[in-house]
Amino acid sequence: NAGVTQTPKFRILKIGQSMTLQCAQDMNHNYMYWYRQDPGMGLKLIYYSVGAGITDKGEVPNGYNVSRSTTEDFPLRLELAAPSQTSVYFCATQNAGGGNQPQHFGDGTRLSIL
Amino acid sequence: AQSVTQLGSHVSVSEGALVLLRCNYSSSVPPYLFWYVQYPNQGLQLLLKYTSAATLVKGINGFEAEFKKSETSFHLTKPSAHMSDAAEYFCAVTSYSGGGADGLTFGKGTHLIIQP
């Protein structure tokens, strides 16, 4: 019953460093999403994917990249970390049955950039 | 374009009192609406969803919400608050345009405080 697994749970980066946030799911959902959560701002969509090999930008994609080579994995890449990217990042999945399908969230990655 | 407004970033109620968390949405097409709850250091869990089948929706943990098209609202209620209800609550909207794949639009969240 793993569901959506995000690694690492916590990370501190220095400005200009790069890293990849991992997201893996075992629910066989086609749709996957990356959100960032900032205090008092709700969640904002960074990127999403409707299947392997297909990705699209969300509301706040600048400074991030994604890839989707398998149904299970949807990593998020930060190339040049900036203080503005300090946030909590959530990965979510959704069944492809339509907009009435709920999203399932991982426990998040808490990222600080100093 | 769609948006969600949650009135009140913090709501405080006494244990056993009525809980009312407000959510208003804006959508150019008929919406799907969701309430999620987030406990500290955890991800979001689905409380309930509106998908046009019924305007009064019952969810987990005794919560329910009523969809009112004329008021573009989807307020969350619970008759009697419990200490374990203390958490962050998010209202979210999506639409069935694009097959429902293009993600959720979230409100800014309401922090529910339960006083003993």
pLDDT at B67: 93
Residue B33: both structure tokens together:
């609406």
Q: Which residue among A41, A97, A101 places its CB closest to the CB of B108?
A: A41
Residue A99: both structure tokens together:
């907009």
Q: What percent of chain B has pLDDT over 90?
A: 72
Contact between residue A60 and residue A44 where contact means Cβ atoms under 8 Å apart: yes
Contact between residue A103 and residue B94 where contact means Cβ atoms under 8 Å apart: no
Q: What is the mean pLDDT of residues B94-104?
A: 68
CB–CB contact B96 A90 (8 Å): no
Question: What is the per-residue pLDDT across A91-103, written as a single tens digit (0 to 9) for each?
Answer: 999 988 777 888 9
Measured in angstroms, the CA of A108 and the nearest CA of chain B are apart by 6
CB–CB contact A33 B103 (8 Å): yes
Q: Name the residue with higher pLDDT: A102 or B27.
A: A102
Measured CA distances, B73 to A99, B21, B92 (Å): 18, 11, 12
Q: What percent of chain A has pLDDT over 90?
A: 87
Question: What is the per-residue pLDDT across B77-93, written as a single tens digit (0 to 9) for each?
Answer: 999 999 999 999 999 99
Q: What is the mean pLDDT of residues B21-48?
A: 91
pLDDT at B54: 84
Of B8, B1, B5, the residue nearest B71 (C-alpha):
B5
Measured in angstroms, the CA of B82 and the nearest CA of chain A are apart by 24
Q: Name the residue with higher pLDDT: B113 or B52.
A: B113
Please name the residue of chain A whose CA is at the shortest distance from the CA of residue B93. A99
Measured in angstroms, the CA of B110 and the nearest CA of chain A are apart by 9
Average pLDDT value over all residues in chain B = 91
Q: Bridge-partner residues for A12, per DSSP?
A: A112
B97 contacts in chain A (CB < 8 Å): 99
pLDDT at B97: 57
Q: Which residue among B42, B104, B107 places its CB closest to the CB of A103?
A: B104
Q: Which residue among A4, A58, A100 places its CB closest to the CB of B100?
A: A100
Question: What is the per-residue pLDDT across B46-72, written as a single tens digit (0 to 9) for each?
Answer: 999 998 778 899 999 999 999 998 999
CB < 8 Å from B in window 51-90 of A: 56, 58, 90
